[in-house]
Chains A and B, each alone.
Chain A
Amino acid sequence: MRQALLVSKVLGVTNMNSSNQPQSPEGTENLISLTIDNQSYSVEKGQNLLQACLSLGLDLPYFCWHPAMGSVGSCRQCAVTQYQNSEDTRGRLVMSCMTPLTEGMIISLKDDKSQQFRETNIEAIMTNHPHDCPVCEEGGNCHLQDMTLMSKHINRRYSGKKRTHLNQFLGPLLNHEMNRCIGCYRCVRFYRDYCGDKDLNVFGSKSHLYFGRAESGVLQSHFSGNLAQVCPTGVFTDKPFSHHYSRKWDLQTAPAICPHCSLGCNINLGQRSGSIRRITNRHHDEVNGHFLCNTGLFGYEHVNHNERLEWPLKRNNEHKTTDKLTPEQAQTLLAEYCETPNENCIAVGSVRTHIENNAALLKLFGEQQFYLGIDDSHAQLLNMLCSAYHDTSLSPISLAEVERCDAALIINEDITHTAPRLALSLRQMSRNAGLKQAAKLGIKYWQDDAVRNIAQTTLSPVHIVQSHGSELSDIATQSIILNSAAQTVLLQEIASLLTTHLNSQAEQPASSEAKAIVNDLMAAEYPLVITGVQNRDLKQVSLSIEIANTLKQLKQDTGFYAVTQDGNDLHLGMMTANSHPKNASQGLDSLLKRLNSGTVETLIILETDLYRYLDKSQLDDALNQVKQIVVIDQLLTKTAAMADLILPATSFAESYGCYLSSEGRLQLSFATMVPIEERLTPWQWLSTQIGIPSYCELVLWISEQLPQLKAIETFAELARFNELSPFRVARQAVRSSSRTAIDAVEHVKEEQPPIDLNGPFTHSMEGVAGFRQALVQPISVLPADQWSPKWNSDQAGSRAGVNHTRDQSSSTTSPWTQGVQIFSPNPQAKRELGYQQTHSSMPLESEQIRLTPSANLYADFELASYSKALTSLAPHKLARIHPETASKWQLEENQQIRLYSDRSQVALECLFDSNQAKSTISVPTNYFRQLGTWARLTPLPAQKRSETSTQESTQPLSNEEER
């Protein structure tokens, strides 16, 4: 396994001379003892010496090593002296990152020889560095600063000229300042080797290295934003952060969960003066590891947006005005609207709000009156997945587990866009075959350069079945592009081939593709099946579950991952499952029917913009039949604009609440800032009516009412945090500037920090550093800001042990840091699936064409679409069609077409794409949601247009201009 863990209870260090030997779960055969500066330690085998030293809490400077990217030995900063035996007094220098641990090894970090070398080394590194810390955004959060101080280089002797470079425009996410470069090669290793993207590289040679693009332009990688943290100094810095910059020590941070896609990545959310300034990765071993996607890193502008709702608002039809209400007035009015919830009063839950808020709504209105803010087929798919996880031995695996698999089948989900971090994990997974080859030659996994030289193009098998080309095709063994019907045939073949294996029957005839897939899955030790709800294809998801379930019976170690669509959509699959017949629809299509029945008087909509899902004219008509519309939301959406009463909701930055990821990991997101008085967390708006006054009681109600979410009761203790410990964790990093001097009270004009009564954090630096709390608290949370003595930069989180393994007894098992996995494999799992899908694809009429969604991580997530930097990266809205199919429809390239179904209609320009499945047409996800899985197609008369067609020329017929 790739992650090296620490061994002991305290500080991960065991003094072998002391009597209390640690008992690691595996016993001591996994341990190695070594002597560092005359102290004996014992650490886990397999890692390199640098990693071991850092895990032990020792300060050893380094640049090019990275826990996720391994060692290449280029910076030479982590040199230590190794002695052959106890008689050896001279020793020799070794680079600790390149040195495997051996039993009984004797090393020194503090001897003159290695200290001198490290000092000269950093002095050499710094010969070309501009020393522009005061104007550098990395200042105070800089690995190079930390390491320079640690190496004791204080006096500059180099008198030569420094090389200078021109910088490049790299797009809306990153600044480029090449003069600060210290040539550690981390950026290109991350970008090219880790992410598989090709447009960043190193140019030139000797001391004239240049890290950038071949020419100025937008970086293409979905993970480019991580360069700001991967770079140990300020070459790549966070550009949106620049626009509202704050020194790290002025930021208030708290551990939160990314609200966009369904993976549940862990983030640190930094705010100052009530606006979010930046997001950084918060290391989680099992989920996001060290990296986030760009949407996760930069998708926070909705919190600061000028369309944020600040007051409760009431439509005044008499005067044709909008009235501001006080929160009390608003609550009274709300109570009036839905005083006695009855069948004329219905609610719509949200996929982007916390579980607690949906639950409060559910409690108030009851299951029959509670609709899900998603389309019906999405709801059915979530239901199907939840049932599968409940009824079978199948449960989703973590991203870390994904990286351990050795063969994968991806079924019709473009994970590079719907779950980018999963795609990144899959990329690492594909390296396992090469790592295995290297291991045969005795090369450790962390010897990155050596492993890659041995592996060359060797990849673990990845088979992709999809309706259009994928950005993962460069690692794919087979990239099979088929339309939905043909995919179903292929999946059925795979399923029955696996069944023949299971029943030891003679092999059936099948396509070569199916055979190749089954062979690879069967040959693997840890095969993986990935599917998702993106295509709204019940048949395929059901087949995917069947394939994974059969495989699971053949191989105990079978991984499964079903990507859902939104930050918090999976739990909705449980909320209506109890009282409704299986597969009954409770989504927005059903809602529309209900509204059109004309019996609904009050409609309360929680954090859902219905116009994203439904046709404008149809929705307008339906809403017009409702007497009162109440919208609880953060922003003035189109739906909110239709409301009679708008209640402003807190954003994820201002509230405590739970997300359930598509892995089934229930995680609490902490509030970073205190909301303004008029904004309440949605459940608080409802609390009087539901009769639940506190968060704690609400959570306990959920755990009783929704058995699958029982684990949420853990978080009921949030309110007791403050009682449990007198020590509260600082939201602000410790600073060492004059601002803490004795006169600060007179000279520093800053508002008194607010008090947070709900959580374990204080809005000040006058608290406990998080890592320290982890040692003393029975309930520990991650540090609000990654910091430890001498390590001010975010790299502190990269020290192998500091954050997540220091205290195994609490930190690595604490639900506060790790979340709770609610789907445990069912020991009484039935061999057969609990349901039978009878859905067969509806036959299409001749003028109809099957639609497929073309997902895009910058365009598809509602909240992220308020971040300009991200939307500027979204692609043109186009319909992609295979040239052959196009000729059948007599379409020309770039011709305007009209697509219409009984749900909605849209006009788009069509683009010929031979990587699109035949007899299908792909449209942007937002249009796909509105149109459904098929549409009628009519070519529009060719218009005279200039060659440089842009978005403006693609006018949707219905004016649902998407965010």
Chain B
Amino acid sequence: MATKEQQTIPVSVIETPDISLSSKEQQGIDELISHSPQLAGITIDALKLIQAERGWVSDASLHALSLYTQIPVADLDSVATFYNLIFRQPVGKVVLHPCDGISCDLMGGEHIRQCLKQQLNITAGETTPDNRFTLIPLPCLGACDKAPVMIANKQLFENVTTDELPKLLSTFNEVS
């Protein structure tokens, strides 16, 4: 198709993505497209699908997705940067989501987060140098009666105490 990309000067030529979609990803996206009344409707699900496969959504992944779906990169990135759970930077093997909602804070949540930071020696949003952990506090995880809580590896940890944090982290070490 005679797109404007082809007609303009080299500066705007989009780099060929070095990571194209795997056949599994392509199948998943085809499936999404078949359900959605309009193409754009798949954007969030497609981004989540890519992230599930790759851990995060890189620029190259965005281009690959755009190339496959014909949704403009700017549209994909506009949506990707809007949502909390789409990671546009690489994350560690385990993403720790300690709750920073008010109910957890009332029960000492802030202290838990502080301890996590100290033990991992990173601040919120950072990844440990060994690439094991990324710390991303999330607001109210909806388990306020069990406060303070944390989500990691799709698992909810309730009534977290500072004492059990080292053990908790080490179980992830074993898993990963």
By a beta-carbon cutoff of 8 Å, the part of chain A in contact with chain B is: 169, 171, 198-205, 210, 213-215, 217-218, 220, 456-457, 468-471, 856, 872-875, 880, 913-916, 950
Contacts of A169 in B (CB 8 A): 11
B 47-68 to A, binary, CB cutoff 8 A, 1 in contact else 0: 0000000000001001000000
| Pick from B5, B7, B38, B72: contact of A456, CB under 8 Å | B38
**Would B82 and A220 count as touching, CB distance under 8 A?**
no
**Bound: A856/B14 CA distance, A:** 21
Q: Are A203 and B9 in contact (CB under 8 A)?
A: no
User: For the complex, what is the distance from the CA of A874 to the CA of B72, rounded to whole Å?
Assistant: 22
Chain B residues within an 8 Å CB radius of A199: 72-74
Q: Helix, strand, loop or mixed for chain B's interface?
A: helix
Q: Tell whether A217 pairs with B11 under 8 Å between CB atoms, given A198-B74, A200-B74, A201-B74.
A: yes
Among residues of B, the one whose C-beta sits closest to the C-beta of A913 is B2
Chain A residues closer than 8 Å to B11, beta-carbon distance:
169, 171, 217-218
B10 / chain A contacts, CB cutoff of 8 Å: 950
How far is it, in angstroms, between the C-alpha of A872 and the C-alpha of B11 when the chains are bound? 10
Of B8, B9, B75, B81, the residue contacting A198 (CB under 8 A) is B75
Q: Knowing that A200-B74, A856-B7 touch, tell me 4 more A-B residue pairs with CB under 8 angstroms.
A: A203-B82, A205-B82, A214-B74, A471-B4
Specify the main secondary structure of chain A where it touches its partner: loop
Q: A199-B74, A469-B2, A913-B2 are in contact. Are A204 and B81 (CB under 8 A)?
A: yes
Residue B12 interfacial (CB < 8 Å): yes
Contact B9 A220 (CB under 8 A): no
Contact check: which of A200, A220, A468, A913 meets B12 at CB < 8 Å? A220
- The complex places the Cα of A203 from the Cα of B82 at a distance, in Å, of 7
**Is B77's beta carbon under 8 Å from chain A?**
yes
Report if B78 contacts A (CB, 8 A).
yes
Of A213, A214, A913, the most chain B CB neighbours within 10 A belong to: A214
Cβ contact within 8 Å between A215 and B7: no
In Å, the complex CA distance between A935 and B5 comes to 28
The 19 listed contacts between A and B (C-beta, < 8 Å) are A198-B74, A200-B74, A201-B77, A201-B78, A203-B81, A204-B82, A205-B81, A205-B82, A213-B74, A214-B59, A214-B74, A215-B59, A218-B8, A218-B11, A220-B4, A220-B5, A456-B38, A873-B8, A915-B1
- In the bound complex, residues from chain A placing their C-beta under 8 Å from that of B73 are 199, 214
Question: How far is the CB of B50 from the nearest CB of chain A, in Å?
Answer: 15
Docked CA distance A916–B59 (Å): 32
Chain B residues near A198 (CB-CB < 8 A): 72, 74-75
Quick check: A468 and B81 within 8 Å, CB to CB? Answer: no
Determine the chain A residues whose CB is within 8 A of the CB of B72 once the complex forms: 198-199
Contacts of A468 on B, CB cut-off 8 Å? 2
A696 CA to B62 CA in the complex, in Å? 63
* Smallest CB gap from A222: residue in B: B4
Alpha-carbon distance between A202 and B25 when the two chains are bound, in angstroms: 26
| A823 → chain B closest CB, angstroms | 34
Which residues on the A side are within 8 Å of B81 (C-beta)? 203-205, 210
With CB as the reference atom, state the residue of chain A lying closest to B81.
A203
**Cβ–Cβ < 8 Å partners of A210 in chain B:** 81
CA A925 to CA B8, docked complex, whole Å: 16
Q: With A and B bound together, what is the CA distance between A171 and B4 in angstroms?
A: 14
User: In the assembly, what is the distance between CA of A915 and CA of B1, in Å?
Assistant: 6
Chain B residues, CB < 8 A from A171: 11-12
Please encode chain B, from 61 to 95, with 1 for each CB lying within 8 Å of some chain A CB and 0 for all others. Answer: 01000000000111111100110000000000000
Chain A residues positioned under 8 Å from B4 (CB to CB): 220, 471
- B1-51 at interface with A (beta carbon < 8 Å): 1-2, 4-12, 14, 38
Docked CA distance A210–B7 (Å): 27
In the complex, which of the residues A200, A457, A875 contacts B7, with contact meaning CB atoms closer than 8 Å?
Answer: A875
